Structure 1
Amino acid sequence: MRTMFGADVEALAGLGSSFVESAETLETARRQVDGIVATTGWVGPDAEEFRQDWSRRLAPALASCLGALRDNAEVLRRNAEDQARTSAADGGSVLDRGGEPGAGGDRSGDGGKDRPGNPDLSGHGPWVDVPPTIPLDDAALDPNMINQQGLGDCWLLAGLGAVARDDPQFIRDHMQLNADGTWTVTMYKDGDPVEITVEPEVAQDGVMDPSGNPSWASIYEKAAAEYWGGSYEDIDGGYSSDAFAAITGATPSKTGEGNLSDLKDRLADGPVALGTEDEPSWWPFGDEVDDSRVVPNHAYIVDKVEERDGELKVHVINPWGPGAHLQDDGSDKVGDMWLTEKQYKENFDTVYAVPSTR
């Protein structure tokens, strides 16, 4: 008897979506009960005991269930993708994310250390000299000053921009200009600091400021290329959770998109980056961007979540830089945008967060 292993990809994707929807329903219920418990006109020892039981035992238990639902939704999604790739290798439909910016990357290699000399340009040169001084004031560290160019490292730049937005002093404290003109950037490996010293020249295709000049992000990007293997190619593709861990030394989280109320809470706790859904031609079950302004399979910085025009909206920043970026298909991928909850859920599928360094 022949045993067959595998899965119905569409069914797995649908189950993952059900987990996400269930998590959102449970989160809404938890918030409603929170409000009722806090505002109900009930005083006395029994009331106090009940409220303490809710806040110390029941509410955390629900939060744990929420986390489990979101984590397992991500597992289901990844398994669906793996099954689809396996089917493609056996003659099924072909799935290709490799051409998209920041499509994913293996961070399990020879990373987490300083290396002598310059990292390999990997076709992203020539070298561009860094000015003797680089602005590090709050205006220079604004995420809108990041201008991703020819490298697919949006995952890194979104993480970097999110940290700079949350705590610009942290960036200043982790960049040191040395007497010989080199820069030392402090990153982290498994929570321990790692000093990466880089020469004052950066890849022409790497990140610049909106005027096309090397910036603090250019220095960090080059340090990351050394940290993750010694080549700019080593940072072409990845996840912002890996960026957060290497930049801050803290333990990041990676979950489904959730809702804007949840996103607002996460932003209050520290830096947040988002991953978009895929291009329409890649994933056949509706997991794709719906807004032509949004770059598919890309990472964005979360700037604000607040009430606007009577509803909660999120402001996201594209590491491509400010303004409109005209594409070959005629669409404009904008540098930043305000999105309603519906628009957010239609275009984003992953939240990367890390505790604040403040």
Structure 2
Amino acid sequence: MIPLGADTDHLRAHAHALRAQTGALRSLFAELGAVVRSVGWVGPDAEQFRSAAESRFRDASTLLEDIDRRGDELLGHADEQDEASSAEGGGGVIGPGGDEVGAVKDPGDAEGTEPADEEIPEDDESIDPDTSAQGGIGDCYLLSSLQALAQRDPDFLRDHVDEVEPGVYEVTMYDENGDPIVYQVESVQEGGVRDAEGDQSLYSLYERAYAMHLEERGVDINGGFPEDAMETLTGKGADAYDSLELGELAEQLDRGRLVNTDTGGIDDPAHDQIVGNHAYTVTSVDTEAGTVTVTNPWGPGDPNAPKTVTMTYDGYRESFGRTTVGRTDEPGMFEGIGIGDGIGWL
């Protein structure tokens, strides 16, 4: 392929940098909002102060949304540029208006894969996070997102996979613009995610489809960010925060959001049962006890890294560097910083 026009790798890198920085700013505004909300101040001056703060937060929300849109536009331009530069003239799977016009097909014999089983189960037990085991691929960011989906919206996980013939599955995911892409999967990754008995699972099909999705973009599946995985799986936005308060974590879970946490580059986390440079699913929060429970994508049985760990909120803050929140539903009209999303000061 002879590239024409812009350097698409640079466009994508810039777009992802914008996304990361807007996520950091949202986290800072959330913390600032919590401070404003906690001030025990009453009277006309207090009301005027809070009104002015609300106006500034709304302005900031609008600005960050505009930056997000511009980042999405860059990703779209990069895709269009790659298609225009292709010697074959494209061949994408999404037509004008987002209509599906085909599927990205699995060759079935790619290096590092093995044939997919027939009739892979989709029942609740088979997709329960407690029954999954990561394997040897460094995609905890993806598997923790799949665990969150299985916990919060299992029907979404099932509805996006269809066995079209024995051992051949169609897995629907989403591109950078939120348009659906169908991946025809007839293999799974060797040494990839399996269930507790070592059998292929629905996670195995998603793992293969996500690997194909990344291969189309020249990216390896080993190493990544939960927000990218969540957005590809759901077609909806996801945001990463430096931290969330205990009540904010609980609120996001109550709303059915997908919540992940990762050690953010920490090699030796404070909690002795948490693995460094690893992503987990936040499965529950007990605000009365002040605890957070996380689930490891690794399989059960390791006493030093158990499948499920419950810790104090302080232990959570000390062990994890980032928290990522995603969704499967459409955002409300007024959702943004502190407006209806449970993160912020309103």
Query: Shorter-normalised TM-score: what interval?
Result: 0.5 to 0.7
Q: Deviations over 1:35-93 (max 9, x none)?
A: x99xxxx9xxx9xxx79x96x87557558879999xxxxxxxxxxxxxxxxxxxxxxxx
Matched residue SS, 1:303: strand
Aligned match for 1:354, one of 323, 326, 344 = 326
Compared with structure 1, are the counterparts of its residues 133 and 231 closer, same or farther at alpha carbon in structure 2 (3 Å cutoff)? farther
Q: Is the 8 A contact 2:106 2:183 kept in 1?
A: no
Normalising to structure 2: TM-score of the pair? 0.67
The residue aligned with 2:233 is 247
The residue aligned with 2:314 is 342
Correspondence 1:319 to 2:297: yes
The residue aligned with 2:159 is 173
The residue aligned with 2:184 is 197
Matched residue SS, 2:124: coil
**How big is the shift at 1:175?**
0.3
Normalising to structure 1: TM-score of the pair? 0.65
**How big is the shift at 1:232?**
11
Gaps of 5+ in 2: 1-23, 65-77, 84-91, 94-103, 331-346
- Deviating beyond 3 angstroms after TM superposition, the runs of 4 or more aligned structure 1 residues are 19-26, 56-69, 108-113, 118-121, 230-233, 277-280
Q: Distance in 1 between matches of 2:109 and 2:213?
A: 9
Q: Is the 8 A contact 2:144 2:281 kept in 1?
A: yes
Q: RMSD value over aligned CA atoms?
A: 3.7
Aligned match for 1:118, one of 105, 108, 123 = 108
Q: Distance in 1 between matches of 2:250 and 2:260?
A: 12
The residue aligned with 2:270 is 290
**How big is the shift at 1:20?**
7.3
Compared with structure 1, are the counterparts of its residues 245 and 253 closer, same or farther at alpha carbon in structure 2 (3 Å cutoff)? same
Q: Report the number of matched residues.
A: 269
Aligned match for 2:284, one of 304, 328, 343 = 304
Q: Distance in 2 between matches of 1:302 and 1:167?
A: 14
The residue aligned with 2:98 is none
Q: Distance in 2 between matches of 1:58 and 1:22?
A: 11
Correspondence 1:276 to 2:254: no
Q: Distance in 2 between matches of 1:263 and 1:67?
A: 24
Compared with structure 1, are the counterparts of its residues 135 and 357 closer, same or farther at alpha carbon in structure 2 (3 Å cutoff)? farther
**How big is the shift at 1:260?**
1.6
Q: Is the 8 A contact 2:196 2:299 kept in 1?
A: yes
Q: Is the 8 A contact 1:222 1:232 kept in 2?
A: no
What are the residue-to-residue correspondences of 1:1-358 with 2, within 5 Å?
24=31, 26-30=33-37, 58-59=53-54, 61=56, 114-118=104-108, 120-121=110-111, 124=112, 127=114, 129-189=115-175, 190-199=177-186, 201-229=187-215, 234-269=220-255, 270-280=257-267, 288-307=268-287, 310-324=288-302, 332-357=304-329
Q: Distance in 2 between matches of 1:68 and 1:297?
A: 32
Q: Is the 8 A contact 2:137 2:192 kept in 1?
A: yes
Compared with structure 1, are the counterparts of its residues 324 and 187 closer, same or farther at alpha carbon in structure 2 (3 Å cutoff)? same
Q: Distance in 2 between matches of 1:274 and 1:67?
A: 26
The structure having more radius of gyration, on CA atoms, is: 1
Gaps of 5+ in 1: 1-16, 70-107, 281-287, 326-331
Q: Distance in 2 between matches of 1:230 and 1:119?
A: 17
% same residue: 30
